[in-house]
Copies of this chain bind each other. A is one copy, B any other.
Amino acid sequence: MRPKINFTPGPSQLYFTVEDHVRTAFREGIPTLSHRSKQFEAIYRKSVDGLRTLLDIPENYTLVFTGSANEIWERIIQNLVEEKSFHLVNGSFSKRFFEIAQQLNKKPEKIEVAMGKGFDASMAIPAGTELIAVTHNETSSGVSLPMEVIAGLRAKNPGALLTVDAVSSLPYPAFDYTQFDSVFFSVQKGFGLPAGLGVWLINDACVAKAEQLLAKGISIGSYHSIPSLYSHALKHQNPETPNVLGIYLLAQVVEDMVRRGIQNIRKETEYKAAILYKALHDHGLINPFVQEKVNQSNTVIVAECGEHTEKITKLLVENGMQPGDGYGAFKKTQLRFANFPTHSKEQYELLVDTLAKV
C-alpha cells in the first residue's frame, strides 16, 4: 500500500530525506554520542550554521535548542518579562501563549479577535509593555500576520522586545530579523522532522534582558534560562543531554534545503498555496476560511467545508490524501492543509484536482 500523503499541519509528513538520514545516523553511532564530545559539537554547529545560511540569520542572533515550542513559550515569559507582556490573540495557540504568562504569575494583557481574523498595526500597546508576542502563523486558523504589521508594531514600540511564533511558517518566510528580537519554531512542521525539538533564536537584547531580571533577583529558570542556554551555545552544546538524534536530523535536512535553495522552496510554496486558494475560491461548496487575502497563510491553508466536510475527507482519503481536521470547535466543518517544503507541487496538483471533483 502506498502511504497516504499527509496534509495535517503538525506533525506533518516527514521531509522526504529523513528516513535515509536516520539510517546513516545509526550506522555512524550518532544516537549514542556523548553530548560533551567533539563530534556532537560538530553536529550542533552544522545545524546552527545551516540554519543561519538557509534563513539568513544575522550575527547578533544565537540559536538554542529546547524540547518543544511549548517550552519556548514558557522560557520567553520567564526570561524576558518581569511583569507586562502583550499578546496578539487570534486563535488557540496565540491564546495559549497568553495563558502561559498568566500561569507564570506575570500580568499579561491582550488584544483578541475572532478565529480567522488578523490584525493591523493600529492597536494601542499599554505603557510599560516589556514584550510584544505575535504569532506569525496561527496553526489553528490559517491566519498569517503580514510583515508590515510586525514592522509597524516595532516602529511604534521601540522600548519593548518583540517575539514571533513562527512554529508553522518557517522555513518559508523571508524575515527581516531587525524587526523583532526572538523567533522560534518546532521541527515537526515545516522542517518535516520527528517531533521532540524546539529551535529558539534570540538576539543580544534578549540576553541582556534576562541578565537584567536575574540581577534583580527574579528567577528566570535554571538549566534552560537564557544565560545557561547562551553560554552553552557558545560551546556548541546544550546544558542538558538533548535530543541528539533530532539535532543531527535537523542539520541534515537543513543541508538538503540549502542545496535545494530557499528561493525555490519559497516559490514552490507560493505556487502550491496559489493553486489551492484559487481552487477554494472557485469551488461551489468550499471556501477559504480566512477571507482577507492579506491574512491568508501560505503554509497552513484552512478550508471552510461546512456540511460537506465528512464527504470531502472521505474522497481525499480514498485518493491517498489525509487532510488535517479543523481545530477545536471547527473540527467538523473545516479542513486544514499544511503546505510545507516536503509537500510537492504534484501532490498539491493532485489535491486540487481531487477537490474539483466534489
Binding site for B on A (CB under 8 A): 3, 6, 8, 10-14, 18-19, 22, 26, 29, 31-35, 66-71, 73-74, 99-100, 103-105, 186, 188, 194-197, 217-219, 221-225, 239-246
Return 7 A-B CB contacts under 8 Å, by A number: A31-B195, A67-B196, A67-B243, A68-B242, A74-B223, A194-B243, A196-B242
Q: How far is the CA of A14 from the CA of B27 in the complex (A)?
A: 12
Complex contact B194–A245 (CB within 8 A): yes
Q: How many copies does the complex hold?
A: 2
Other-chain contact of A241, B31, B195, B223 (Cβ < 8 Å): B195
Complex contact A32–B19 (CB within 8 A): no
* Contact residues in B for A218 (Cβ distance below 8 Å): 105
Q: How far is the CA of A68 from the CA of B221 in the complex (A)?
A: 15
* Contact residues in B for A74 (Cβ distance below 8 Å): 221-224
Extra A-B contacts (18), CB below 8 Å, given A67-B196, A68-B242, A73-B223? A8-B34, A11-B31, A13-B32, A18-B31, A22-B22, A70-B239, A71-B223, A71-B240, A74-B222, A99-B222, A100-B222, A103-B219, A194-B244, A195-B242, A195-B243, A196-B241, A243-B243, A243-B246
Complex contact A14–B31 (CB within 8 A): yes
* Contact residues in B for A197 (Cβ distance below 8 Å): 196
